[in-house]
């Protein structure tokens, strides 16, 4: 599969549309679908791209703070998934494998571009359905003062989450924004569940302390 074929998979598609070979794919687990990719089923790969594109773009945006970079990083994740198809083993949950790839890419990108990232005015709390981003626009049901407080709060949350130690930041993003449970996060980060709970506890305690004026 070359880049143009992958871009076709990543392109917009009407909700609910699947390649014919993957119709009724809800009867398969993601691992089983990936095994079909391994066996040469291109429509199975297309199904996984359509299913996980938005969550991955959202995850990458929260790490990169740049929409274009998030799209590029998500595409690179899928390229790596496809290139690794022949060595895939369904011994772990598919999402664990997927987010390990995504996490490694996101961390490396964040480290490489730490000094390059500009300030942005996009909310962490309200991701757009398509890109994972939302401009921090005024809410017409709120007063000017309430909107100012809201913007200050969102900017403070964004700043403090970004300032967390790397593993705490990853755990918070996966837990709060990707709705991943302790076990999923533990598997991705290669930690025990108890260590993951402790990591998140420390992260949330730190955020509560630093954001107490907004709580």
Predicted confidence (pLDDT) per residue in 119-160, tens digit: 444 443 444 433 344 434 445 566 777 667 777 777 777 788
Q: Report how far Cα 16 is from the mean position of its chain's Cα atoms.
A: 21
Under DSSP, is residue 17 helix (H, G, I), strand (E, B) or coil?
coil
Tokens at residue 111, please? 């480290």
**Residue range 9-22: mean pLDDT, rounded:** 46
Which CATH architecture fits 1-121?
Orthogonal Bundle (1.10)
pLDDT of res. 110: 84
Tokens at residue 108, please? 């490396």
Q: How many CB atoms lie within 10 A of CB 18?
A: 17
Tokens at residue 170, please? 């990853």
pLDDT of res. 1: 52
Which CATH architecture fits 138-215?
Orthogonal Bundle (1.10)
- Residue span(s) of the chain under CATH 1.10.1740.10 come to 1-121
**Residue range 20-42: mean pLDDT, rounded:** 80
Q: Does pLDDT of 12 surpass 50? A: no
**One-character DSSP codes across 129-140:** TTTS--B-PPPT
Which residues lie closer than 8 Å to 137 by C-beta, 6 or more apart?
Answer: none
The answer to whether 63 touches 106, Cβ cutoff 8 Å, is yes
CA distance 165 to 81: 28
- pLDDT > 70 fraction of the chain, expressed in percent and rounded: 72
- Residue span(s) of the chain under CATH 1.10.10.10 come to 138-215
Give the Å distances, CA to CA, from 193 to 166, 178, 179, 199, 201.
18, 17, 16, 10, 12
Tokens at residue 93, please? 């949950």
186 burial class (0-12, 13-18, 19+ CB within 10 angstroms)? buried
């Amino acid at each position: 599969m070359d880049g143009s074929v992958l871009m076709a998979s990543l392109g917009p598609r009407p909700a609910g549309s699947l390649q014919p070979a993957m119709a009724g794919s809800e009867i398969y687990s993601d691992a089983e679908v990936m095994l079909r990719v391994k066996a040469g089923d291109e429509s199975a790969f297309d199904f996984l791209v359509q299913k996980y594109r938005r969550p991955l773009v959202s995850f990458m945006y929260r790490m990169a703070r740049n929409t274009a970079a998030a799209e590029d990083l998500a595409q690179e994740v899928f390229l790596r998934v496809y290139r690794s198809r022949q060595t895939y083993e369904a011994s772990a949950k598919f999402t664990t494998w997927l987010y390990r790839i995504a996490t490694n890419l996101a961390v490396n990108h964040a480290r490489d571009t730490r000094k390059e990232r500009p300030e942005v005015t996009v909310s962490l709390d309200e991701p757009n359905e398509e890109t994972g981003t939302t401009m921090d626009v005024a809410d017409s049901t709120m007063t000017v003062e309430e909107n100012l407080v809201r913007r200050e709060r969102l900017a403070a949350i964004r700043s403090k989450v970004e300032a967390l130690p790397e593993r705490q930041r990853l755990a918070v993003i996966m837990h709060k924004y990707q709705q991943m449970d302790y076990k999923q996060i533990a598997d991705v980060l290669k930690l025990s569940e108890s260590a993951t709970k402790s990591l998140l506890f420390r992260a949330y305690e730190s955020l509560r302390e630093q954001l107490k004026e907004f709580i």
